[in-house]
Amino acid sequence: MSLAGIERLIREWNRLRNRYGISDSPPEIDRLQLGVARRRARIRHLRSRIEELSEEVRVLEGETLGLEKALGLILGEAIHELRAGKGEVWSPFPVLGFRVWVLEEGFFHGYRERWDEPEMSARCPTTGNDADVPHTDGRCGEPPCGIYAAKDVEDLLTEHANLDLHEMVVGLVGMTGKVVEHERGYRAEHMSVLALAVPVDGEIRSISDETEIASLFTEGVSEPDSLLEDWTKSRTHIVEFMKKQMEVRSQWTLASPSG
């Protein structure tokens, strides 16, 4: 029975008692009424406490949110300082650099393996443990794991001066994930090819279209009908194209967080 129904019956009982001059109620009625009254009082008390506790929970949740935000900022700074001290960063936006591939039968080969597509994720061939690559604790030995890129395209070309330009491809790459910085270059967890300078029939072909880049990696570069004759001119073309592409891509990267 509902509360309203019980109260209606109590009023009717008391009215009849007054009408007929009955002073005492049956003990069972008094006992049950007392039990109901006590429990209602307890319910009111508990509801009051629930309101107080709900308010306390709300305050604590707000304080916890603020503390978690502060903890996140401090942890982020501590992690950044530790990684920076060890020469590594974690980058959601591409860190730009340059690298070289050697053409073997028209396909792109890096230091360790062939690239079948213009993206690569690092592995650790020494330890077989690909977690937290590139490793910075020396477990890999020399050279340490990661996908390598140079900071300066001219330094890169000088370093690979022993290679003929007609058998190598120079590229601008974007590095994301864990990126370890060194004096002259980087080791990255993930790398994507953004632009290429490819030797084709006696000249350097500049490519920045992602579809065309992907096609070169999957289908290969055609064997040239003629070789590059002017090494200095070709080198200058590569340097100018790569620097221009880096400038353009850097502007895109800077604009991307707000754009």
**Side chain identity at 209, as an amino acid letter?**
D
Indicate whether 19 and 140 sit together in one domain: no
Indicate whether 43 and 161 sit together in one domain: no
Task: For residue range 31-90, list pLDDT tens digits in order.
Answer: 888 888 899 899 999 999 999 999 999 999 999 999 988 888 888 778 767 766 766 666
- Which pLDDT band holds residue 130 (cuts at 50, 70, 90)? confident
Q: Which of 82, 108, 140 is the last residue of a domain?
A: 82
**Residue 258 predicted with pLDDT over 50:** no
**The pLDDT value given to residue 236:** 92
For the chain, the domain total comes to 2
| Cα–Cα dist 60/64, whole Å | 6
If we measure between CA atoms, which residue out of 77, 76, 69, 94 comes closest to residue 257? Answer: 94
Indicate whether 47 and 94 sit together in one domain: no
**Side chain identity at 61, as an amino acid letter?**
E
Residue percentage of the chain with pLDDT more than 70:
90
**Residue 243 predicted with pLDDT over 90:** yes
Cβ atoms of 52 and 142 within 8 Å: the answer is no
Indicate whether 33 and 19 sit together in one domain: yes
Indicate whether 11 and 116 sit together in one domain: no
Domain containing 100: what range?
Answer: 88-255
SS3 107: strand
| Cα–Cα dist 97/171, whole Å | 8
Indicate whether 126 and 222 sit together in one domain: yes
| Cα–Cα dist 38/15, whole Å | 23
